[in-house]
Every structure is written in C-alpha cells, then in structure tokens.
A and B are shown apart, each in its own frame.
Chain A
C-alpha cells in the first residue's frame, strides 16, 4: 500500500510539474481565452484593445463601468454565450492591427 502511494505521488509530481512547465513554455505565445465570467472591460484589457468596439459588437451601449459578466449580458440579450464570445473574437480581430496581437 505504501509502495503504491509512493508511486502515485511520484507520478503526480511529474504530471503537475510537466503541465506547469508546458504552460510556462507557451506563456508568451498563447492568447488568453474568453470565458463567460469575464466582463467586456476585462476582455478588452486582456486583449489590449478598447472596450467600446467590443460593446458595440455585442449591441450593448458602451460603458466602461459595466462589469456584468458576458454570460449575464448574453442572457439579457437572449443570445447564446458561445455566439456572443464569437462576436467578441471577431471584434477583437478587427480592432487589433495585424502583428499587434497579444
């Protein structure tokens, strides 16, 4: 039982260590994904763009103090969250000049 636990602990060390190392290696090149908990100003900040075009893309009046998560906005607008995330992605691509992406 001790040997099994020891082997599992060693395996877990390598697993989590490898995963942390892999994430760290791709740190600079990986783009932050858009999650339903994020607000529009939060998404704009993580993608180095202004929030106004993102608000307009999802048909919401621009307000930098609007910290509602996009899930809540999608619910209010009666639009699926995945569709809203797609609209935001398109707006980010349009708003971010080529080569200036995160």
Chain B
C-alpha cells in the first residue's frame, strides 16, 4: 500500500498529500513521516511549493484528527464507560481522568510529530474524555504544523536521501514509543513491588 501512496503523491502532488495525511490521522497505518519527507524532496525538485505543501499537510492532518476526536466524543463514550468499570471505583477513575486532562495538551502536541503511532489513539481518547475541543484543536494545530514543517523541511534539505531519512525518523519514533512504554511499565512494577513490601 505504501508504494501506491507514494506513487500517488509523486504523481498528483497536493491533492494526494491532503488525502493521505488525513487518512493517516484517522488511524490507517501509513508511515506519514516518510510521506512528508518525500513531499519535501518534491518541493526541492520544484514539483510542489514548500509553504503550500506545509499548509496542505497540516490541514489534511488536522481534518483527520478532528474526525478521530468526533468519533471519541460521540461514539466512544459508551465503550469508555464500559471499560472504565474495569479500572476501579469512581474516585480512582476521577483521578485518572484529571491526570489525563492535565497531560492533554502536551500529549496532543508530542503525539503529532514525535510519537506519531499514538496520534490516532489520543484523538479518540481526547474526544471520549471530554477534553476541551478548543484546547485540543489549538495543540493539534501547533503540533501538526510543527511536524509538517519539520519533516517537509528535512525532506527539502536531504532531498536525495529521502528513504534513509525516513527510515531513521521512523525507527526513532518507535524507539521513543518503546522508551515511554518501558518507563510506564517500570513505574507500575516499582509501585507494585512497594505495595507488596
């Protein structure tokens, strides 16, 4: 599928870019970092304008993110209520919800460009957790614009090395996600051990 998406991007430019980043933001597993780097290379070759490409990529991603947020807000609540019973009593859930909201802005911002595999999940979770739409959109706009500008600029600078730059940042993204998971599980292990002692 990646081949077809990259071919569409190379051939049709901006319209393909908008559609591809939007479907990636909704949750279809697409290596969007590589697509943005290829877009930067196309900009360096003069096939597409640099600033229009950044604007279109941001707009496409934000559109997809808004769809994910809407799904969480209006479709995911029942599911969340069902699963939240498994997490503990009402007091515990309130604490978790408050913690999630306090980290909401940073979570939305960093999942747009640094830990991209988490992005679609955070969109749905933010909607379901009644996170403010205005704040979500603000952090979403900042994160997506920064991410699009960063990766398209990288592709523009290293326009003859797109696959290698894409591979480096793809792997770095997964490594950062693995560090976060290890940190979260390590923290849980530490607390479980303390409780037993």
B binding-site residues for A, Cβ under 8 Å: 2-4, 6-7, 10-11, 41-42, 44-45, 47, 159-164, 167-169, 171-172, 174-175, 178-179, 181-182, 185-186, 188-189, 192
> Is there contact, CB below 8 Å, between B172 and A37?
no
Return A17 CB to nearest CB of chain B, in Å: 4
Out of B44, B159, B182, name the residue touching A9 (CB < 8 Å): B182
Compute how far the CA of A38 lies from the CA of B182 in the bound complex, rounded to whole angstroms: 38
A residues less than 8 Å from B185 (CB atoms): 2, 5-6, 9
Q: Is A20 an interface residue (CB 8 A)?
A: yes
> What is the size, in residues, of chain A's interface with B at 8 Å between Cβ atoms?
36
With contacts A36-B7, A37-B2 known, what are 4 further pairs, Cβ within 8 A? A9-B179, A13-B178, A23-B171, A39-B11
Which single residue of chain B is at the shortest CB-CB distance from A65?
A: B47
> Is there contact, CB below 8 Å, between A46 and B189?
no
Return B44 CB to nearest CB of chain A, in Å: 7
A residues less than 8 Å from B172 (CB atoms): 16-17, 20
Please report the number of residue pairs spanning A and B whose Cβ atoms sit closer than 8 angstroms. 102
Q: Is A76 an interface residue (CB 8 A)?
A: no
Return A47 CB to nearest CB of chain B, in Å: 8
Out of A12, A26, A46, A69, name the residue touching B159 (CB < 8 Å): A46
Which single residue of chain A is at the shortest CB-CB distance from B12?
A: A67
Which single residue of chain A is at the shortest CB-CB distance from B3?
A: A37
> Is there contact, CB below 8 Å, between A6 and B41?
no
Return B75 CB to nearest CB of chain A, in Å: 29
Out of A17, A30, A72, name the residue touching B164 (CB < 8 Å): A30
Compute how far the CA of A69 lies from the CA of B42 in the bound complex, rounded to whole angstroms: 13
> Is there contact, CB below 8 Å, between A10 and B182?
yes
> Is there contact, CB below 8 Å, between A32 and B178?
no
> Is there contact, CB below 8 Å, between A71 and B7?
yes
Return A46 CB to nearest CB of chain B, in Å: 5
Compute how far the CA of A17 lies from the CA of B170 in the bound complex, rounded to whole angstroms: 10
B residues less than 8 Å from A68 (CB atoms): 11
Which single residue of chain A is at the shortest CB-CB distance from B45?
A: A45
Query: Which A74-102 residues have C-beta < 8 A from chain B?
Result: 102
Out of B42, B44, B163, B186, name the residue touching A6 (CB < 8 Å): B186
> Is there contact, CB below 8 Å, between B7 and A48?
no
Return B158 CB to nearest CB of chain A, in Å: 9
> Is there contact, CB below 8 Å, between A5 and B181?
yes
B residues less than 8 Å from A6 (CB atoms): 182, 185-186, 189
A-B contact pairs, 17 of them (CB 8 A): A5-B181, A5-B185, A9-B179, A12-B181, A19-B171, A20-B172, A27-B168, A33-B163, A35-B3, A36-B3, A41-B45, A42-B10, A42-B41, A42-B42, A46-B161, A67-B11, A71-B3
